[in-house]
Structures are given as C-alpha cells and as structure tokens.
C-alpha cells in the first residue's frame, strides 16, 4: 500500500498551507504515537530539526500530538538528518522524527520519519499512520500522558560517531577544506568534525537566522563555494544541503564534483583497499558514465526510481553497501542507515590521502556524459496525464531513436516540488538542448489543452 500523504521523502510543503500547518502536524504526531503504542511505557520518540524558524512551531505541534497519545519525547534541537537516524538507532528509541525541508527555501518545511532501526519508515507503516489521521484524535488519561525532555549532548554524540566511521589514526593535517554548511543543520557539527580530524577549515554560511537556510548557498548553489576554494587555494570544498544528508564537492580547480562522481570515488577507493564491492545502486538520473566506469572494474550497477529510500531498499535487497543519487545523497550502509553528507565526505578525504591524488584526479577518472535538465511547473495531479499523453509519448519515442544506445530521456514527477522534470543524456550537449525543447513544447501543448 502506497501512502498519498507522504511523498518520496516524507511530507513536505509550504509552511502554513496544508499539510504543513499546526493542526495537521498535531494529528500526525498523534497518529505516530498511536501507531507506536499509547501506554506511556514504550521507548521514547526522538525529534530533531534543521534551522528553519518554522521548526519551532512544527516541533510543538508534534510534541502535543505525541504526548496526547501517551508517548514520551526527547528533543534533539538542530541536528543533521543522519544524526537523528543514528541517535534513534543507538538509543533504541521507538522512532525518530526529522523536521526539515531539506534543500528547499525557508518557507517550506517537512517531516521525515525513521523507524527504531534508523531506517526510513516503510510504505506499509506510513500508510497505517495515514489511515489513523482520518480519525478524530483522542487523548489518553492524564496519568498516561507523554512528557518531553532534551538530549543536551546530541551534537557531541553525532560528532564522535562521524569521526569513528574512519580509522581513528587518520589525520587530515595538511588538507585545507572549505565547508559550506548552507546555514543549515550542519552549521555547528561539520566544522568541528573536520577541524578535530586535523584539517585546516574555512567555513561559509554557518550563521543561520531561521530564514537564510539554502539561500544562495549549500549544495543547491555552489557559486560562492567555487570562488572561495580558488580564492584561498584550498584542496577542496564541501557543500551540504539544509539537513546535511546531501553532499556535493568542489575540486581544487573550482570544478563541481557531483554525487555520481563521489560514488565512483568511494567504489574505487574501497576496491583499491581490498574491500569487496559487488555493486553500486544509483537512480534513473545517474550518469551513464558512472555505470560504464564501474563496469570496467567488474562492479555491477542497478538503478531505482528517484529517492534515497528506494536506493536503500535496492541496496538491502542486493546486499550492497554503496548507493546514492546524483544530487549528493550518498548511502554507505556499512556505516549509516541513511544518506550522510559528513560521513561520505570523510571517506572521500581518506581516498585522497591514501591515494595521494587530488580530488580533481579522482573525479576525472569517471567517464561523464553531458546531461540537460528542464523543470516545468505543473498543478497537482497533472503529471500522470502528461507522461501518458500520446503527444508526449510520440515526442519521447522520436527522441529515443535519435539518441540511440548512447543516450536516454527521463520524464518524472518531482516528489518534493510542483514540477514535472525532463532529463536528457547523450554524447552531444547541443543536440540535447534541441531535443529537450521538442519534448518541452509537447508537454506545454498538453498542459495548455
């Protein structure tokens, strides 16, 4: 059963508009509590958030809903999403809830739910929560109400965990790193992790004010990071998104290193270190060059629909440790249960140190096909009709014939924003733009009709 309330990464939307409003989030908290058990004796639920101003409001609404269902809560404060997943698992909590709009602007927000194992809650459990939200919430007797407390050392615990994911003898002394923390959840922990590992750290966008999260910074806008890396002569730059489950990088020449290249670097490093790398999981958007480059190393590659939870499901099914998305969700299942920007970046630095190569040299070893993407604004419910419309299907069929085996076209509905996305990939970048215009015109023709 696939829930409709939850998208590819929880529930997300504009603050103050359904479903991101206090009454609905209170109902969500109550439904989560009822699902976990309303006896007051079950393990507590952890709640963490990013740095958006609206996080206070949503945190209070969740707290009220959970307490009314008789569930105790531990508040973590601002912390990266993977940190919340880690603490949920390590404290044996009933669940972990993340209040974050991820890479979106401050006026958006969302809710992600982790099970007690630190994994994203599955569709069946989410559907059960959604069904409960259709009921009128009640309240347990006063003697059984939940209560809230705070974990004051949550950040310190997560910092130590990140450092423990690599050999404790490792030192990054001599490496100069620029960190762009997107004025988000990593603003405090990321600089401490890399500094304590010996790196020289220059920080950017580490002064959140509730409004400036992801604003012309972080992994969604790397212009300033690229300039800073070149200006200070750093060895690399690291960009996180608002909740730090994504990471993208900039090499010493100011060139972007995306999630596909990071996956390739990690796979190569592990194989070079003598570890068994049976396969890597990507998505339908992963570059064709990643697949071909892995094949030359006898490493299998599998694709899923977009969304790190689907990547993780495929990894578990295949028994593989590495997977991720072009956007920078990198999952190392031998280290974490979810995408972790800081942990992934640490392993890239280890690869640089042990290989003696620069980030540019490591990334350049992966073959890369040009990609061209377009986002088309759509109304709710339009995407399904667009994709199956004969006018669009005819355009896609014609384009696929022209691209042949050295190219692809991918149409999909965004799971987080009101867009219909078009992506073309092939050997000729100029041809991609021309072909993209053709399919966009077909889509707009359907929308207008």
The CB density around residue 91, as the number of other CB atoms within 10 Å, is 16
Residue with tokens 């212009």: 223
Q: How far is CA 30 from the centre of its chain?
A: 26
Task: In whole angstroms, give the CA distance from residue 288 to residue 296.
Answer: 13
What residues contact 50, with CB distance under 8 A and at least 6 apart? Answer: 78, 99, 100, 101, 184, 185, 213, 242, 243
The 8 Å CB, 24+ separation contacts for 354-361 are 354/269, 354/272, 354/273, 355/269, 355/272, 358/235, 358/251, 358/252, 359/235, 359/236, 359/249, 359/251, 359/252, 359/257, 360/251, 360/252, 360/253, 360/255
- Tokens standing for residue 112: 């992600």
The CB density around residue 278, as the number of other CB atoms within 10 Å, is 12
What residues contact 435, with CB distance under 8 A and at least 6 apart? Answer: 399, 402, 403, 409, 424
Check if the beta carbon of residue 59 is closer than 8 Å to that of residue 88: no
Task: In whole angstroms, give the CA distance from residue 65 to residue 34.
Answer: 10
Annotate 242-255 with three-state secondary structure: CCCCEEEEECCCCC
Check if the beta carbon of residue 417 is closer than 8 Å to that of residue 104: yes
> How many Å is the Cα radius of gyration of the chain?
22
Is 102 assigned a catalytic role? yes
Alpha-helical segments (H) within 41-132: 54-68, 81-90, 123-132
Buried b (16+ CB within 10 A) or exposed e, 42-62: bbbbbbbbbbbebbebbbebb
Q: Name the nearest CA neighbour of 194 among 88, 350, 362, 361.
A: 350
Q: What is the sign, positive or negative, of the torsion defined by CA atoms of 144, 149, 154, 155?
A: positive
In the set 54, 94, 100, 102, the catalytic residue is: 102
By the 10 Å C-beta count (0-12 exposed, 13-18 middle, 19+ buried), 390 is classed as exposed
Check if the beta carbon of residue 173 is closer than 8 Å to that of residue 199: yes
Q: Which residues are catalytic?
A: 102
């Amino acid at each position: 059963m696939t829930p409709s309330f939850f998208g590819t990464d929880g529930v997300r939307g504009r603050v103050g508009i359904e479903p991101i409003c206090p009454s609905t989030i209170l109902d969500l908290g109550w439904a989560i509590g009822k699902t976990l058990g309303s006896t007051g004796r079950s393990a507590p639920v952890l709640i963490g958030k990013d740095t958006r101003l609206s996080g206070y409001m949503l945190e209070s609404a969740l707290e009220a809903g959970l307490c009314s269902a008789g569930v105790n809560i531990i508040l973590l404060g601002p912390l990266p999403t993977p940190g919340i997943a880690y603490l949920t698992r390590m404290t044996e909590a009933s669940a972990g809830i993340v209040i974050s709009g991820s890479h979106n602007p401050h006026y958006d927000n969302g809710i992600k739910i982790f099970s007690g194992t630190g994994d994203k809650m599955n569709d069946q459990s989410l559907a059960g929560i959604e069904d409960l939200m259709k009921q009128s919430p009640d309240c347990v007797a006063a003697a059984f109400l939940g209560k809230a407390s705070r974990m004051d050392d949550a950040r310190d615990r997560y910092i130590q965990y990140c450092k423990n994911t690599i050999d404790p003898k490792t030192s990054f002394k001599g490496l100069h790193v620029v960190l762009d923390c997107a004025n988000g959840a990593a603003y405090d922990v990321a600089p401490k992790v890399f500094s304590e590992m010996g790196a020289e750290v220059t920080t950017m966008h580490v002064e959140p004010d509730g409004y400036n999260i992801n604003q012309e910074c972080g992994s969604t806008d790397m212009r300033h990071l690229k300039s800073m890396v070149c200006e200070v002569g750093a060895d690399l730059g690291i960009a996180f998104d608002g909740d730090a489950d994504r990471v993208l990088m900039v090499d010493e020449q100011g060139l972007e290193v995306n999630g596909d290249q990071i996956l390739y670097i990690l796979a190569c490093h592990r194989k070079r270190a003598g570890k068994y790398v049976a396969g890597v999981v990507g998505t339908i958007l992963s570059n064709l060059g990643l697949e071909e480059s892995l094949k030359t190393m006898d490493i299998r590659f599998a694709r899923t629909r977009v969304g790190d939870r689907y990547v993780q499901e495929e990894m578990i099914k295949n028994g593989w440790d590495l997977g991720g998305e072009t956007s920078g969700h990198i999952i190392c299942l031998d280290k974490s249960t979810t995408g972790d920007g800081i942990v992934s970046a640490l392993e890239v630095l280890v690869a640089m140190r042990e290989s003696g190569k620069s980030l540019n040299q490591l990334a350049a070893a992966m073959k890369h096909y040009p990609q061209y993407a377009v986002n088309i604004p759509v109304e709710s419910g339009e995407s399904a009709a667009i994709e199956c419309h004969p006018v669009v299907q005819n355009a896609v069929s014609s384009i696929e014939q022209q691209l042949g085996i050295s190219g692809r076209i991918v149409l999909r509905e965004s799971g987080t924003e009101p867009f219909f996305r078009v992506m073309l990939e092939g050997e000729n970048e100029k041809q991609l733009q021309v072909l993209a215009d053709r399919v966009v015109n077909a889509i707009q023709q359907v929308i207008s009709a």
